[in-house]
Chain A
Amino acid sequence: METIAHPASSPVQSPRPSLLDDSKLLRTLIDHLPDSIFVKDIEGRFLIANLAHRRALGVAALQELIGKTDCDFYPEAQAAQYTGDEQDVMSTGNPLVNREEPVIDRAGQRRWLLTTKVPLKDAEGHVIGLVGISRDITGRRRAEEALRESEERFRRMFEEAPVAYHEIDSEGITRRVNRAECILLGFEPSDIVGKPIWEFVAPEQREQSREAVRKKLADLQLLAPFRREYVRRDGTHLVLEIHENLIRDTRGQVVGIRSTLLDITERQQAEEEVARQARELARSNSELERFAYVASHDLQEPLRKIRAFGDRLKGRCAEGLGEQGRDYLERIQNAAGRMQTLISALLTFSRLKAQAQPFTRVDLAEVARTVVSNLETSIEQAGARVEIGDLPVIDADPVQMTQLLQNLVGNALKFHRQEEPPLVRLRTQLAVPPSQRPEETSAPLCQILVEDNGIGFDEKYLDRIFLVFQRLHGRGEYEGTGVGLAICREIVERHGGTITAQSAPGRGATFVVTLPATQPKGHAE
């Protein structure tokens, strides 16, 4: 049976029967459609099936299909489902339109079909069978499922993220807010959604927030992380670091902002605490400097009296004192004189910071020549020789550089060996060993070496010699206050450098000063 019955049920009036054979034309048409198309009689037996449907059933020729039913091709349950549906369509005359049906294909794969089944009627309107059309919509269904899954995944990521998120629309109204943000702010989602986001900002920043949102939505302001104070439901404030992204529609128009909020209240408090401690430290340091200054200044006052009245005693009452009395007085006067020297040294030390000058270009060779000229008397007295080698030009405080080299050369002259005239050499060493590199500088470094052939010292005392009032020798052996090298260290550290020494008893000493050759611009402390 090769005739097609027409659902329209009106006889086809073929204008050119000789040219077009209806059945051939229709078969050609339907065989080239991608959808499955079939016609069944009232008993559910196939009358027609196009190529697509025959392929779906695994049948090559139409002949093999004619007279068979779905029971011959599908598993029992599926066949029963189809037969039932088709009986309904045929008995009620109501078509089944665009139903999405799952099927297992011949390869065992699950597929989705969009099926329409309409009753086929004869000229009198009696149902004589049905026409079915099925489109394979597996691809679309999979895409939809993938989209749903993806949306669900992102929705859950948004919702369940441990970080607070919200989205506002083009009016600044909050459209979505996640659980973390609700917990952070202490509100229910319904308290937040539908309200302008700036209502949750601390009152003093609210206007600023509103204006910033307006500018960002107008695409007038670049997005950069910023800090904003929000208020919780319970009225407490919290500091948030906010990261934002613009939400754009398909035309690229900004339609909203998605924000991530990090609670940095504690971090900000910690930062403030660190800043407070730094201020406190600076204050206590400057107080200490001031204390050292005032103390050493005020200590001089009674000392001056001791010396002056000692002088009076010696000048006026020497006769009455007797020889022993005069000896005691002499000792008092000497002790007072030493104390005067110590206090002066301490005063110099405490003034280092207060009287610091800005850094300028300083020629250390020139400084060394000044130092030699300042120390001329002691150099002559000791029969010493001071050799000035190549020395660099660096950024430094010129007065302090003079003090530094003078203390080091003076030290070298003082601690000379009796049997040999002192020889002091100043020179530069270019390569700085990494272990002697100061931590906080990237500037090129230079090393200045002050070498002597004096008595030297045991390196186990290296840490002590740069501390205030630390001495390695009794006063009977060498005069000194124990402040000179401490001043050197203070000066070097103020310049961002380091000072150390190499020595052994009886083998001379080499003091190594490492200084940045350049200082950051405007850096004076």
Chain B
Amino acid sequence: MTKKNGKPITILYADDDPEDRMLVKDAWEESRLANPLHFVEDGEELMDYLRRQGQYAKLRDEPLPGMILLDLNMPRKDGREALREIKADPSLRQIPTVVLTTSEAEEDIFRAYDLGVNSFIIKPVTFQSLVEVTKTLGRYWLEIVELPRERAVP
């Protein structure tokens, strides 16, 4: 849950739906994951956060999040566009990005992996399965796998 430098890595979750943010937050707590979870509400805010610009300019010296959870259908800039930008940006594309969406469309699944998404998860229907999903995500991405070292925006 903590990386080698001892500081827990931040998880960034982009979703325009306040209830989904609430449910994920609850599930996160239920899963007893200590990593801070930060929320953004659409693709533009997500990119601002990642690039430390706009309202996030003051975070310039803070490390980037260690993982991104991404909803696909969002206003202003949707998850598909944000994903393309992240994976096209040399300073961002190594951050593991997991799509968490209600879309079951094969085209969405194919395109997300084509753009380089690390996992594609369909939002579970019951809260209990959402807890299962967050537990599994936490265990896999924060305990089992090795992630690249955190870096601040160059």
Picked from A297, A300, A301, A311, the residue with its CB within 8 Å of the CB of B126 is A311
Picked from B19, B102, B123, B127, the residue with its CB within 8 Å of the CB of A315 is B127
Interchain residue pairs with CB less than 8 A apart (28): A297-B102, A300-B102, A301-B102, A304-B102, A304-B123, A304-B125, A305-B19, A307-B125, A307-B126, A307-B127, A308-B19, A308-B23, A308-B125, A308-B126, A308-B127, A308-B130, A309-B19, A309-B23, A309-B127, A311-B126, A311-B127, A311-B128, A312-B23, A312-B26, A312-B127, A315-B127, A315-B128, A340-B125
Interface residues in chain B, defined as those with a beta carbon under 8 Å from any beta carbon in chain A: 19, 23, 26, 102, 123, 125-128, 130
Question: What's the nearest-Cβ distance from chain B to residue A316, in Å?
Answer: 9
The size of the chain A interface, using a CB distance under 8 A, is: 12
Which of chain A's residues have a CB closer than 8 A to the CB of B26?
312
The 8 A CB mask of A285-315 against B (1 = contact, 0 = none) is 0000000000001001100110111011001
Interface residues in chain A, defined as those with a beta carbon under 8 Å from any beta carbon in chain B: 297, 300-301, 304-305, 307-309, 311-312, 315, 340
Supply 7 further A-B pairs (C-beta < 8 A) apart from A307-B125, A308-B130, A309-B127. Answer: A300-B102, A304-B102, A305-B19, A308-B23, A308-B127, A311-B128, A315-B127
Q: How far is the CA of A312 from the CA of B128 in the complex (A)?
A: 9
Which of chain B's residues have a CB closer than 8 A to the CB of A340?
125
Q: Does more than half of chain B's interface fall in helix, strand or loop, or is it mixed?
A: helix
Question: What's the nearest-Cβ distance from chain B to residue A312, in Å?
Answer: 5
Question: What's the nearest-Cβ distance from chain A to residue B7, in Å?
Answer: 31
Which of chain B's residues have a CB closer than 8 A to the CB of A315?
127-128
Closest residue on chain A to residue B127 by CB atoms: A311
Q: How far is the CA of A301 from the CA of B122 in the complex (A)?
A: 12
Complex A-B, nearest 5 residue pairs according to Cβ-Cβ distance, in ascending order = A311-B127, A308-B127, A311-B126, A304-B125, A305-B19
Q: How far is the CA of A297 from the CA of B123 in the complex (A)?
A: 13
Which of chain A's residues have a CB closer than 8 A to the CB of B123?
304
Q: How far is the CA of A452 from the CA of B78 in the complex (A)?
A: 51
Kindly name the residue among A308, A311, A312, A340 whose own CB sees the greatest number of chain B CB atoms within 10 A: A308
Question: What's the nearest-Cβ distance from chain B to residue A338, in Å?
Answer: 13
Q: How far is the CA of A190 from the CA of B126 in the complex (A)?
A: 88
Which of chain A's residues have a CB closer than 8 A to the CB of B19?
305, 308-309
Which of chain A's residues have a CB closer than 8 A to the CB of B130?
308
Which of chain A's residues have a CB closer than 8 A to the CB of B128?
311, 315
Which of chain A's residues have a CB closer than 8 A to the CB of B125?
304, 307-308, 340
Which of chain B's residues have a CB closer than 8 A to the CB of A311?
126-128
Which of chain B's residues have a CB closer than 8 A to the CB of A297?
102
Which of chain B's residues have a CB closer than 8 A to the CB of A300?
102
Question: What's the nearest-Cβ distance from chain B to residue A227, in Å?
Answer: 43
Q: How far is the CA of A161 from the CA of B51 in the complex (A)?
A: 85
